[in-house]
Amino acid sequence: MLNVLNFKCDGLRKYLEENKFRGFKANQIIDWIYNKKVFDFNEMTNLSNVERKQFNDILKIELPLIEKVQKSKDGTVKFLLKLVDGNLIECVFMMYEYGNTICISTQVGCAMGCKFCASTVNGFLRNLELCELMGQILVVEKYTRKKINRIVLMGTGEPLYNYENVVTFIHEMKSKMGMSNRHITLSTCGIVPKIYDLAKEDLNINLAISLHAVSDDKRKTIMPIANKYSIDQLIEACLDYFDKTKRRISFEYLLINGINDGEDDAKSLVSLCKRSKAHVNLIPVNEINENDFKESKRLKEFYNYLLDSGVNATMRQKKGVDIDAACGQLRLSYSK
């Protein structure tokens, strides 16, 4: 039996027509699921009793199950979700003055091996399907009773290694839930060929690069992907993305005490930003058990240097630290 959440809009219409239903029934089902948050055919009152039974015979509406909810003192909510196959993923709901944001996972586990991130500790298991990407949004909106205004693909996993499903998800968020692509940010550790591919998709989403170091040698010590793609290669891909989409690139820079917070690091980052026209999102490192990285003592000094040098920079507000929901803290600790 097929899961409705795995259909594109036009795919559901085609499937229903092939099964002798009128095509507009797809629009009705989509409205119930994505706007009204009704996940049972029997509760879709503009379907006849016969149609409800027929749909139940050929389709299912299957979402991740909420296994655990943790609420931070700052209002952040972390969800542990159980997938159909028993695997577990996490997503995080955050409230800001400019709207409600969800940070979603794109894979079960992660293979990238970044030293500062707990998500990679237990390795990679599989990609998330479209229904599991969409399901995170639907489950959280249903639970919180709040409309999500922005999506960041910054949870567990490397989005560009789940390329087809992620691109489809972005298209479907616009067509089914009216989400502007400008309110979607994809974070990647720097899969250069896929950045070129993404630039051709006409999505115009925000692209955030997990940079975290400004020399190849230093970056290799904390991010294994740097052994495959150099910073020069990464910057060229970013410039191509900017040229094609006119969307400014953001560099995520996790400031680690004694590792990447020196004066030379700051100067090199300024040069890199001016070359690439990038914005810097400066992130205080969040401590995890798997390493001894500490928050930089030069955070404000480093931040002010960027601003004084004409770099457009922001300092990320910490959210959900007390429930291990902040940047780099999502992990599969529950599977240990």
- The full set of domain ranges for the chain reads 2-60, 65-335
Please give the structure tokens belonging to residue 30. Answer: 């989509």
Residue 268 tokens read as 């090199």
Q: What is the pLDDT of residues 63-87, one digit of tens each?
A: 999 999 999 988 899 999 999 999 9
Q: If you average pLDDT over residues 112-141, what whole number do you get? A: 91
Task: Report yes or no: 270 and 304 within 8 Å, Cβ to Cβ.
Answer: no
Burial grade of 106 (CB within 10 A; 0-12, 13-18, 19 or more) = buried
pLDDT of 332: 46
**pLDDT tens-digit series, residues 199-255:** 999 898 999 999 999 999 999 999 999 999 999 999 999 999 999 999 989 999 999
Q: Report CA 51 to chain centroid distance, whole Å.
A: 36
The CATH classification number of 65-335 equals 3.20.20.70
Assigned token pair, 335:
């599977």
Amino acid at 113: G
**pLDDT score at 285:** 82
Residue 7: which of 83, 61, 65, 66 has the closest Cα? 61
Using DSSP, state whether 3 is helix, strand or coil: strand
User: What's the N-to-C CA distance of the chain in angstroms?
Assistant: 33
Query: Pick the residue with more confidence: 171 or 97?
Result: 171
Smallest CA-to-CA distance from 326 within 282, 275, 287 is with: 287
Looking at the domain that runs over 2-60, which CATH code has it been given? 1.10.150.530
**Which of 62, 90, 158, 252 is an active site residue?**
90
Does residue 185 contact residue 178 with C-beta atoms inside 8 Å? no
Residue 90 annotated as catalytic: yes
**Number of helical H runs and strand E runs in the chain:** 10, 14
Task: Kindly list the distances between the CA atom of residue 224 and the CA atoms of 72, 91, 146, 194, 318, in Å, as whole numbers in the listed order.
Answer: 32, 25, 38, 17, 26
**Taking the model in full, what pTM does it have?**
0.92
pLDDT of the residue at 121:
76
How many Å apart are CA 143 and CA 69, to the nearest integer?
10
Residues 6+ apart with CB under 8 A from 330: 90, 92, 105, 118, 119, 155, 156, 324
Other beta carbons within 10 angstroms of residue 180's beta carbon come to 12
Mean pLDDT of 81-99: 94
Is 327 among the residues known to form the active site?
A: yes
* Strand residue runs (E) in 179-315: 184-188, 206-210, 250-255, 279-284, 313-315
- pLDDT-based confidence at residue 101 (cuts at 50, 70, 90): very high
